[in-house]
Amino acid sequence: MTSRPQLIFLGCLFLALLIVPFLGSRYLTELAVQVMILSLLALSLNILAGHVGLISFGHAAFFAIGGYATAFFLSRWQLPLGAAMPLAIILATAFALVIGILCVRLKAIYFAMLTLAFSMLVWGVIIKWKPVTGGDDGFVGIALPQFLATPQNFYWFTLAIVSISTALMWLLSKSTMGQTFVAIRENETRASFLGVNVRQMQLIAFVLAAIFAAIAGSLMAMYLRGMYPQSAFWTQSGHIVISVLLGGVHSFVGPILGASLLYLLEVTIHQYTQYWPLVMGLILLLVVLVLPEGLIGLFRKLYARLGRK
Amino acid sequence: MQVVYPRNALNDRKVRRMFTNPTVLFIQVMNSVSLAMNLFIIAAGLTLIFGVLRIVNFAHGAFYMVGAYVALSILRVTGDTDLGFLLGVLGSGVVMGAIAFVVERGLLSRLYDKEHMLQLLFTFALVLVIKDIVKMIWGTGQYSIGAPPFLRGAVNLGITYYPKYMLFLCALGPIIAIAIWFFMERTRWGRILRAAREDRVMLNALGTDVKMVYSGVFVTGAALAAMGGALAAPRSAVDPGMDALVIIDAFIIVIIGGLGSLLGSFVGALILGFLTVMGSIYLGEWVIVASYVMMVVILLVRPWGLFGKADEERH
């Protein structure tokens, strides 16, 4: 898909999300909040996976750091939201800088393994550092500011943050830097011959991806009124990769489609059976074997076929 | 030299006792080795698969879990006998090997020419599917398998008594290591495997059925994981969560040793075994973090591991 239809899609999506709270269904509102947060998380990984072509298997670490830090600053230090969230994001950025500098030195499988190792390190610390994180039981009971107490208000807050983040990521993907990212993905050697500092660009993408993941984590912690160690486990990172892949990596809106579809399926299937992971596994098998381009690839093919007729 | 002890008084005593009491030290060493050998059997399959197929198999932990459950079912039929245990271990390898053959021929083989990341996600999908199927068949309860009758109890080693089953594991690890080494380095089949690792296109051109080689390696690796699971069962509980951490342990081992290196996995398993057992005396539960730190450090300093080769795959 070229950028025009994608922009129209994003616009329609935004308009639809503006209507949701007025439909009067609390269930729908809460569902939309979760879908938005998970879409933001998937979009954040796509900066790295889709644009630069580095697939991280430890992306959940930054989601967890953002969430736990927000929880800690809000509840333990009693900071106002306006300070807690930015601080949490700064903290995640710092982590991403250090981890990123070390990770971008490696490629492909080794990059995936190192990011996995770091995320397990974060997970291990979360599990064991009970006084700060609550350990196995998770960080329970976040004190939310008054203005976010109602589901309606929280919805507007999430919509605002997610929309701004998405807009920023869109601008990034259309900017010179975004184009440079794609150049690195397509041919790293050629990009470096053209004078691109490949490592530096990869690091920037890594940190940006981590920042938006941390924002998603921060929102999720506030939505759940808590944060749980499972959020940093390697399987969680796997889920983010699945969302991105299901939607389609080489497009902007793909991860939104992937994350939304995956979550809506999960909610639906959970009503019938506890074996959601089995279904997710089968979906992933299908995507890997038949649809490596994801849903976007499928749409493109259908579109091309219709156009020919 | 001043040793910094943990705050905990109980730990404090434990640490002192360890240095002054050779019996405790001996037991800790034996515990480290038996854990290491158990982990080695699992990691050996992982490194074999990576060495030849160049696939990082996330499903290896799931294979391990299937092995433990299959052994459990076989033991239910045979009863708690020596023969039953033997059948359980071998049977778990056979059953998992058969499943792996179908999966490899039917699905995985279509991905050999695709990106590494698709292969990796394929194995991740297997994790999700296998885990739920295990839950469907065996439920979510926790089970345990006893050691076979002839390996029950402890044996006097002169210094102290030590459980026979753990000794059995200590002996089994090197035996399996030598068997795999012999197979790889001294037999015709092993030569073909090594050739497949170096240049599969050329091997194919020379008339070897590379497809079957790949199937064989995947099946063997999966069977090793399953037998590792069956053998581990008397040491720990059998439950649907047993795969998630063991795969990370196996990753740590093959990364320390070098992906694809058998000797590396053996040494890596020993390092992780000693770190886990000895480290827990100093660090308590924080030892789990220490093993991840080790994995990170190795990946940073020598991404190809202690015994691996710095090949073009690394970059």
Which residue on chain B is closest to A53 by alpha carbon? B117
The neighbouring-strand residues paired with A139 are A227
Residue B65 sits at the vertex; the CA angle it makes with B63 and B69, to the nearest 5 degrees, is 115
Indicate yes or no: CB of A112 within 8 angstroms of CB of B117: yes
The CA distance from A4 to the nearest CA of chain B, in Å, is: 29
Global pTM? Answer: 0.87
Instruction: Give the β-pairing of B161-163 and B154-156.
Output: antiparallel
Average pLDDT of the segment spanning A260-278: 89
Per-residue pLDDT tens digits for A244-259 = 988 888 888 999 999 9
Structure tokens at A64: 């967890």
Distance between CA atoms of A245 and A285, rounded to whole angstroms?
Answer: 11
**pLDDT score, position A146:** 81
Distance between CA atoms of A187 and A86, rounded to whole angstroms?
Answer: 36
Structure tokens at B85: 């245990």
Which residue on chain B is closest to A107 by alpha carbon? B315
Q: Which of residues 137-166 of A touch B (CB under 8 A)?
A: none
Distance between CA atoms of B258 and B271, rounded to whole angstroms?
Answer: 13
How deeply is A308 buried, as exposed, middle or buried, from its count of CB atoms within 10 A (0-12, 13-18, 19+)?
A: exposed
Distance between CA atoms of A7 and A253, rounded to whole angstroms?
Answer: 9
**pLDDT score, position B5:** 38
Q: How many residues does chain B have?
A: 315
Contact between residue B131 and residue B62 where contact means Cβ atoms under 8 Å apart: yes
For an interface test with B, the pick among A101, A120, A241 (most B C-beta atoms closer than 10 Å) comes out as: A120
The CA distance from A194 to the nearest CA of chain B, in Å, is: 20
The CA distance from A39 to the nearest CA of chain B, in Å, is: 20
Q: Residue B289 corresponds to which amino acid?
A: V
Q: Residue B40 corresponds to which amino acid?
A: F
**pLDDT score, position A109:** 81
Which residue on chain A is closest to B136 by alpha carbon? A275
**pLDDT score, position A44:** 94
Distance between CA atoms of B58 and A91, rounded to whole angstroms?
Answer: 30
Residue A133, φ and ψ in degrees, nearest 5 = -105, -15
Indicate yes or no: CB of B128 within 8 angstroms of CB of A277: yes
Q: Which is more confidently placed, B147 or B226?
A: B226
Indicate yes or no: CB of A114 within 8 angstroms of CB of B300: yes
Q: pLDDT above 90 covers what percent of chain B?
A: 34
Size of interface A-B (CB pairs under 8 A): 111
Per-residue pLDDT tens digits for B201-210 = 888 888 888 8
Contacts of A245 in chain B (CB under 8 A): 121
B7 pLDDT exceeds 70? no
> What interhelical angle do A26-46 and A198-224 show, nearest 10?
160
Tell me the pLDDT band of B244, cut-offs 50, 70 and 90: confident
The CA distance from A309 to the nearest CA of chain B, in Å, is: 31
**pLDDT score, position B3:** 36
Distance between CA atoms of B137 and A153, rounded to whole angstroms?
Answer: 45
Residue from the list B121, B285, B295 with its beta carbon closest to the beta carbon of A284: B121
Average pLDDT of the segment spanning A13-23: 89
Q: pLDDT above 70 covers what percent of chain A?
A: 99
Distance between CA atoms of B217 and B203, rounded to whole angstroms?
Answer: 15
Residue B163, φ and ψ in degrees, nearest 5 = -55, 135
Give just the sign of the alpha carbon dihedral A63, A65, A70, A72. Answer: positive
Which residue on chain B is closest to A122 by alpha carbon? B289
Distance between CA atoms of B166 and B159, rounded to whole angstroms?
Answer: 16
Identify the contact set of chain B against chain A, taking CB-CB distances under 8 A: 56, 58, 107, 110-111, 114-118, 120-122, 124-129, 131-133, 135-136, 244, 248, 251, 255, 285-286, 288-289, 292-293, 295-296, 299-300, 303, 313-315
For an interface test with B, the pick among A95, A110, A115 (most B C-beta atoms closer than 10 Å) comes out as: A110
For an interface test with A, the pick among B292, B301, B309 (most A C-beta atoms closer than 10 Å) comes out as: B292
Contacts of B255 in chain A (CB under 8 A): 113, 117
Q: How far is CA B90 from the centre of its chain?
A: 16
Which residues, including other chains, have CB under 8 Å from residue A148's CB and lie 6 or more apart? A81, A154, A157, A222
Structure tokens at B204: 């194919």
Q: Which is more confidently placed, A123 or B236?
A: A123
Burial A212-234 (b: 16+ CB within 10 A, else e): bbbbbbbbbbbbbebbbbebbbb
What's the start-to-end Cα distance of chain B, in Å? 42
Residue A16, φ and ψ in degrees, nearest 5 = -60, -40
Residue A135, φ and ψ in degrees, nearest 5 = 60, -140
Per-residue pLDDT tens digits for A61-103 = 999 999 999 999 998 888 888 889 999 999 999 999 999 999 9
In the DSSP assignment, the letter for residue A48 is I
Tell me the pLDDT band of B14, cut-offs 50, 70 and 90: low
Indicate yes or no: CB of B313 within 8 angstroms of CB of A121: no
The CA distance from A211 to the nearest CA of chain B, in Å, is: 22
Q: Does A132 touch chain B (CB under 8 A)?
A: no
Q: Does A108 touch chain B (CB under 8 A)?
A: yes
Per-residue pLDDT tens digits for B67-85 = 999 999 999 998 888 899 9
Instruction: Identify the three-state secondary structure at position B55.
Output: coil
The CA distance from A110 to the nearest CA of chain B, in Å, is: 7
Residue from the list A118, A280, A289 with its beta carbon closest to the beta carbon of B296: A118
Helices (H), chain A: 3-19, 26-46, 60-75, 81-103, 108-128, 130-133, 151-174, 176-186, 188-193, 198-224, 234-247, 254-270, 276-290, 294-308
Q: Residue A29 corresponds to which amino acid?
A: T
Which residue on chain B is closest to A238 by alpha carbon? B124
Indicate yes or no: CB of B129 within 8 angstroms of CB of A285: yes
Q: What mean pLDDT, rounded, does chain B reach?
A: 85
Residue from the list B126, B135, B303 with its beta carbon closest to the beta carbon of A110: B303
Q: Which is more confidently placed, A237 or A2?
A: A237
Contacts of B118 in chain A (CB under 8 A): 288, 292
User: 10 Å Cβ neighbour count for B206?
Assistant: 11
Structure tokens at A288: 């890997």
